[in-house]
Chains A and B, each alone.
Chain A
Amino acid sequence: MDYFAQQLINGIVLGSIYGLIAIGYTMVYGIVGMINFAHGDIFMIGGFIALISFLILVSFGLTVVPVILLIVLLVSMAITALYGWTVERIAYRPLRHSFRLAPMLSAIGMSFVLTNYSQVAQGARVKPVPPIITGGYTLYEADGFVVRLSNVQIIVVITTVVLLAIFTWMVARTRLGRDMRACEQDQTMAALLGVDVDRTISMTFVIGAALAAVAGMMYLLYYGLVDFFMGFVAGIKAFTAAVLGGIGSLPGAMLGGLLIGLIETMWSAYFSVEYKDVAAFSILIVVLIFLPTGLLGRPEVEKV
């Protein structure tokens, strides 16, 4: 039971990270109808930028942890968002009304570019950082087994919840959110009614990338490392989360993320660590076959 409780906590934290990435997939898929293959790599870039800005801040002698975290968060969100914008501008916008396969291949190409770019710019080796946030609470202790909730875990979950709340509010209540939903329904009609479609789509990529940057930073805080290849697998799992939750749905992405995080953690804890990715991918296949509209998605009626 103690072991289970600990795994539950770990799973929720991992799931929050997946959920943040999944939001980017779900928003882009909702509006442009394409899988943004480069999104996993945007997450990886976010992790790198968080790492580098953190190192710089520390070397400048800054020691107040909350201030460091805030600055790192803002810097990585801003720069990564620009990456998201640039990727859309270069690789997707020229293909907006093209054949279906062209943007997909362009996205795969962009994913390769970003992966290799980080590898060349920052080296292929894993970058470890010492724990930035230490301490935590012991929730329960018995028979030498301890259930701990660390401060990092608390921060990851709280940040996720706050950001999710902000962005859900944005999509539901603001002008930009309304434009996004309009573009999701019908781009031509939205354009006729004065919605700047290009700008709205760009903003979608920017928001998705900013959230992926947060996920990258949380990953760095939680695992204490980044590497250039971490985007691929995390990306597929986050996409699984987006589909599981129901593509196009923000709460769905978060829910899907939590479920994938829990399943992966539990699988590693009770079955085998080696096959944890196989488990995640198998879930993807099973979900798509039996629940293609996801948990919170709208069912699609076939028009004849």
Chain B
Amino acid sequence: MAGVTAAPASRSSAASYAPGAAFIFKKALISALVALVLFSLMIGVRTDAGPDGQLTYWTRFGDLAAMVATVFGGSIVVELLRQWWGPVGTVRIVPPSVQSGLAVARRAIAPLLLVFTFLVPVIFYNERYILDLGILVLTYVMLGWGLNVVVGLAGLLDLGYVAFYAVGAYSYALLATNFGFSFWICLPLAGILAAFCGVLLGFPVLRLRGDYLAIVTLAFGEIIRLVIINWQSLTGGPNGVTGIPRPTLFGIPLTPGDDGLAAMLGIEFSTTHRIVFLFYLILALALLTNWVTIRLRRLPIGRAWEALREDEVACRALGINTTTTKLTAFATGAMFGGLAGAFFATRQGFISPESFTFHESALVLAIVVLGGMGSQLGVALAALVMIGGFELFRGLEQFRMLVFGLAMVLLMIWRPRGLIGHRAPTVFLHHNQAISSDLVKEGHG
């Protein structure tokens, strides 16, 4: 499309369209006017219940003026930036030398990132906050990789992924608190139960296509959450499950007692041991997810997933059973979600339905799409950016969702195809060359 246009041509057209100051001013004025109307009642007026329960209001014209002024100024800045940057959607021609340099950097980034991740507990041993953040990021990396099987490879849009996360978490929590099963027995069970739920949901809905599948999975996620809230006798309802046992190192607890790991090794007990253990545990689980996914892509089932994303009709003509193929993708993704859920439960020690809202599904989906559908490295980077970015705004607790939502909109406009937008082939004869994202389909179901 527009990408074919050579860089000089687009530059000259940008120059010829360069709007004058009057134009920018006019545009900003219109934006400010729109903002004035939009914010007039919502920000200019604040309602609240008075002491007698009666709703009263007071005006905040100062805030309103500030907001409108911000929009006015922002509009000018955006317009100037746009002029400086040139038209959106133009492909900038990168010199081959830079391109090959980038390719080398790209190849180096994954191993470097892995080594760095391994060293995080060593480098930041005394920084509890960073370790906790690392565990959080890795949890989302794992969730992203799990959902990537469904969305990125098979092209099935799943907006209810959190349901499987919840099934995994509650499986572990309930099995451990009711029957005293250990983490290492519950972990595979949680994965199996979640995969089973994936099949259960998948069986009826997988012939739906695209947006319908998205909305049905969303509904399924909500149903699971509502059932958890309302089935109080089993799940504890909104109060959740407390006292979930902490994980053990194959039976050796990480406690200060005599049978604890510290005592056995003859070192002084520290709560950091458990954090470090959890860090490596989730790292191992995430790497397992990654390894299995990479392996599966090179097997017929993985190729069938990708073929399904590319063209379902052609798959049927080639004798591929599309229903079972979709089901395996759904179940595989669900299983990883379940494993991550079990980890979440043991890490928190407490779970409640509040942790499993639609917002989580949207976050994981955003990670997968921002990562560049199907790219393992992209998903990991996207998880780092999203969760890390989220942490930066921790101080603005009440604006968090606002920032998150805006970030989603802007990231999609900036990179609709994600950070890493090309696909690596699963098998090659002569040379392993990446496939441009313009050719790769997104799937219809």
A and B bind: yes
A-to-B contact residues, CB < 8 Å? 29, 33-35, 45, 48-49, 51-53, 55-56, 59, 75, 79, 82-83, 86, 90-91, 94-95, 98-106, 108-123, 125, 127-130, 232, 236, 239-240, 243, 274-275, 277-278, 281-282, 284-285, 288-289, 292, 302, 304
Q: How far is the CB of B22 from chain A (nearest CB, A)?
A: 22
Which of A56, A117, A122, A304 lies in contact with B402, CB distance below 8 A? A117
Name the distance in Å between A40's Cβ and chain B's nearest Cβ.
11
B358 part of interface (Cβ distance < 8 Å): yes
- In the assembly, what is the distance between CA of A82 and CA of B235, in Å? 44
Q: Is A35 a contact partner of B409 (Cβ separation < 8 A)? A: no
Q: Is B260 engaged at the interface, CB distance under 8 Å to the other chain?
A: no
Please state if B40 and A59 are interface contacts (CB–CB under 8 Å).
no
Chain A's closest residue to B157 (CB) is A101
Interface residues of B in 346-386 (CB under 8 A from A): 358-359, 362, 365-366, 369, 373
A-B contact count (CB 8 A): 189
Shortest 9 CB-CB distances between A and B: which pairs? A109-B408, A112-B405, A113-B405, A102-B416, A116-B401, A281-B219, A116-B402, A98-B416, A109-B409
Cβ contact within 8 Å between A289 and B37: no
Flag the segment in B94-102, B168-176, B185-193, B206-214 that touches A. B206-214
Cα–Cα, bound, A265→B385 (Å): 44
- B104–chain A nearest beta-carbon distance, Å: 28
Is A278 a contact partner of B359 (Cβ separation < 8 A)? Answer: no
Q: Is B424 an interface residue (CB 8 A)?
A: no
A116 touches B226 (CB 8 A): no
B43 touches A121 (CB 8 A): yes
Contact A115 B38 (CB under 8 A): no
Q: Does B413 contact A (CB under 8 A)?
A: yes
Cα–Cα distance between A49 and B151 once the two chains are bound (Å): 38
**Given that A91-B409, A106-B409, A127-B47 are contacting pairs, would A288 and B42 also be in contact in the complex, using a CB cutoff of 8 Å?**
no
In the complex, the answer to whether A288 meets B408 with C-beta atoms within 8 Å is no
Chain A residues, CB < 8 A from B442: 99-101
**Most central of B55, B215, B405 by chain A CB within 10 Å:** B405
Q: Are A52 and B47 in contact (CB under 8 A)?
A: yes
- Do A101 and B57 touch (CB < 8 A)? no
B residues in contact with A304, CB < 8 Å: 313
Most buried by A among B47, B212, B227, B373: B47
Which residue of B has the minimal Cβ distance to A277?
B226
Contacts of A101 in B (CB 8 A): 151, 157, 369, 373, 442
**6 additional A-B residue pairs with CB within 8 Å, beyond A112-B359, A113-B401:** A48-B42, A105-B365, A106-B409, A106-B412, A125-B48, A289-B207
B204 at the interface (CB under 8 A from A): yes
Q: Footprint of A on B, CB under 8 Å? A: 34, 37-38, 40-43, 45-49, 53-57, 88, 151, 157, 204-205, 207-208, 210-212, 214-216, 218-220, 222-223, 226-227, 230, 313, 358-359, 362, 365-366, 369, 373, 398-402, 404-409, 412-413, 416-417, 442
Q: Is the CB of B47 within 8 A of A55?
A: yes
Pick from B48, B53, B398, B408: contact of A106, CB below 8 A: B408
Tell whether, in the assembled complex, residue A49 and residue B313 are in contact, meaning their CB atoms are under 8 Å apart.
no
- Complex partner residue of B416 from A86, A99, A128, CB under 8 angstroms: A99
Cβ contact within 8 Å between B402 and A285: no
Q: Is the CB of B408 within 8 A of A112?
A: yes
A113 to B210, CA, bound (A): 24
Select from chain A the residue with minimum beta-carbon distance to B48. A123
Q: How far is the CA of A240 from the CA of B373 in the complex (A)?
A: 28
**Cβ distance A231 to chain B, nearest Cβ, rounded Å:** 12
Q: Are B215 and A86 in contact (CB under 8 A)?
A: no
Q: Do A282 and B412 contact each other (CB < 8 Å), given the known contacts A79-B41, A109-B406, A113-B406? A: no
Q: Do the beta carbons of B409 and A90 come within 8 Å of each other?
A: yes
CA A243 – CA B208 in complex, angstroms? 13
